[in-house]
Structure 1
Amino acid sequence: MTSLRRFLFLCLAAAFLACGSAHAVEEIKVPFNFTWGESSQRLEDSMKRVQASVVERKQVQNRLCLVVEGIPQKLLQRALFYFDNDSLNEIELHYGDPNWDSTQYGNFFDQTRRNIEGKYGIGRVIARQKTRESDVLQTLIGYQWTQNATSLSLYYYTAERDANSYRLLSLHYRGY
């Protein structure tokens, strides 16, 4: 009986140590120190302070979308801010460099995914597909991290036809 108790004690101690040494998961925060529910006017005022500009306003699935360029962040090409009833509920960030080739984009995607996993844990694969439409080969890879108030999705999209290609790495933050 004492050997059974010792075995159970060792199992519990090993489980406790494994849990104690696990990496703490950070909270997914809304980019640029915004909060979910902010108004479009507050966002526009904030963008003006950093000399970024709204280059397009459009309706997407009954939501206002503000497309912003010029946000001073390395490799950030544009940001799309979505508002439902003038309440911020999603931010989409487009990253990349037009001079990069597929290897550089692939490395950037892998490094970004590893950085996110270091903060929020292992992501769930939500997309991994290659399709051909006419003479265009499209690839989509996506991962998602979900917490109580926010989800974060990372996508890598490519469209290739002959020597022409389009590549995009995007982060999608969504509030609940």
Structure 2
Amino acid sequence: MYPTGHYGVALLVSAPAAFVLGRRAGTLFSAFVLLTAVLPDVDTHVPGVRHHGVTHTLLFGVASGVVVGLFAAGLLVAYVRFAGPVRSSRLTARNAFEWAAAGAFLGVLSHVTADVLVVLPGTQPVSPFWPLFERKITVEAIPLGAPARNLALLVVGLGVHGLVYRLTGDGVES
């Protein structure tokens, strides 16, 4: 799948959270999910790690969520220690952890979902539930070499977010 397709699926996966969170927080959260949606392809830069292997699993999504969440909570704690309290009394290390962990997990989930939708020549289908079971899952809903369909996924994702933005107010932040 092309990056445009991955980003479109990430936008679709993050839309329900964006709706609940409201305009500002939802937009920020969706942007974070977009950034983390490329995490599974780190396997293309690590020698000895097979593409569509362990980084394309829900286990990797959970592990990424924990690591990214701990990093975010640690950054907040360090910021408070050196710069003083944050303006929002609702922003705690626990909230930072939960927000970042959920965003990273959804980013990985969206990537794995997108890769289930298409199989690239020369690569293996993904086993998203590894190590529980190694069954490879493919739907092949989007033919490879279809940049227009990948672009259509991005346009649909952006359209859904436009609708979410229009329907929501400030949500949780109010």
TM-score range, shorter chain: under 0.3
- Which structure has more RCO (C-alpha within 8 Å, separation ≥ 6)? 2
Please tell me whether Structure 1 or Structure 2 has the larger radius of gyration of its CA atoms: 1
When you count helix as a share of all residues, which structure comes out higher?
Answer: 2
Q: Normalised by the size of structure 1, how large is the TM-score?
A: 0.21
